[in-house]
Amino acid sequence: MFMSGIKNITIGILALQGDFFEHAQVLRNLGVKNKYIKTADDLKNINGLIIPGGESTVMARLLKLTGLDKKIVFLAKRGLPIWGTCAGLILLSNRVRGGNFRPLRLLPISVNRNSYGRQINSFSEPLVVPVLGQKSMYAVYIRAPQITNTNKNVIVLARRLNKQAVAVQYQNILGTAFHPELTADSRFHGYFLALVRKNAS
């Protein structure tokens, strides 16, 4: 990781609804330029895109309203690295259970919305993500989705102790069921940035 490379990239953060500010905070601390994406025009000149946590039903509606959905799919197919956390993972997936909307279908997995239960069942626990080293990170699950099925070409980056996949990657698309942006551990952002830099060079 060369610091000089970091300065030249700009990460877009989808800012329709949800915790986009928390992602911006992490990127700022890492010295990475970022900008909020609200309309299709905002997608110009970005090297990567983060779809934050929030309500997937809300974001799905607003994506369609501004024509952002088609533009994002277009850029993803051309190799733009995209990372979705929680609601972002739901939006990127191929199939969603428990939601009345069509996802972007960029990540060949099936997800089940709110499948741990309601807010009272939200939880946090240590999670080892092997690509980030053996030191566990703290995974926060808030009304989180569960990944119920993954295509064989999808790489599972992390599993809970019960073997359930919670972090996945398919080529340039990254998804986590938890919220790395809510804790002080920025290693997952670092992993995404490495993907972005590799793609940009």
Partner 1 sequence: MKKTNNFKIKKDSPSYQLKSGSPRLWLIKAGLAQMLKGGVIMDVVNVEQAKIAEAAGACAVMALERVPADIRAAGGVARMADPGLIIAIMKAVSIPVMAKCRIGHFVEAQILEAIEVDYIDESEVLTPADEEAHINKTNFQVPFVCGCRNLGEALRRINEGAAMIRTKGEAGTGNVVEAVRHQKALTREIKNLQKLPLLACQKVAKAMRVPLALVLTVKKFGRLPVVNFAAGGIATPADAALMMQLGSDGVFVGSGIFKSKNPAKTARAIVAAVTHYDNAKMLSKVSANLGEPMVGQDVRAISEPEKLSARGI
Q: Does 146 bind partner 1 (CB under 8 A)?
A: no
Residues of this chain, 155-184, that bind partner 1 according to CB under 8 A: 161, 179, 182-184
Q: Does 140 bind partner 1 (CB under 8 A)?
A: yes
Collapsing DSSP to helix, strand or coil, 141 comes out as strand
Per-residue interface string for the shown chain with partner 1, residues 32-51, x marking contact by CB under 8 A: ------xx------------
Q: Does 100 bind partner 1 (CB under 8 A)?
A: yes
Residues contacting residue 41 through CB under 8 Å, at least 6 positions apart: none
Phi and psi angles of residue 186, each rounded to the nearest 5 degrees, phi first? -100, 15
Q: How far is the CB of 62 from partner 1 (least distance, A)?
A: 6
Q: Does 18 bind partner 1 (CB under 8 A)?
A: yes
Rg (CA), the chain: 15
State which of residues 110, 136, 148, 149 lies at the interface with partner 1 (CB under 8 A). 136
Q: How far is the CB of 162 from partner 1 (least distance, A)?
A: 11
Q: Does 132 bind partner 1 (CB under 8 A)?
A: no
Angle in degrees, 0-180, between the axes of helices 56-65 and 68-77, rounded to the nearest 10: 90
Tokens 């741990």, residue located: 116
State which of residues 12, 19, 46, 175 lies at the interface with partner 1 (CB under 8 A). 19
Angle in degrees, 0-180, between the axes of helices 187-200 and 20-29, rounded to the nearest 10: 80
Q: Does 115 bind partner 1 (CB under 8 A)?
A: no
Contact status, residue 13 vs residue 37, Cβ threshold 8 Å: yes
State which of residues 6, 62, 156, 194 lies at the interface with partner 1 (CB under 8 A). 62
Contact status, residue 146 vs residue 111, Cβ threshold 8 Å: yes
Residues in the chain: 201
Collapsing DSSP to helix, strand or coil, 90 comes out as helix
Binding-site ranges for partner 1 (CB under 8 A) = 15-22, 25-26, 29, 38-39, 53-55, 57-58, 61-62, 65, 86-87, 98-100, 113-114, 117-120, 122-126, 135-138, 140, 142-143, 161, 179, 182-185
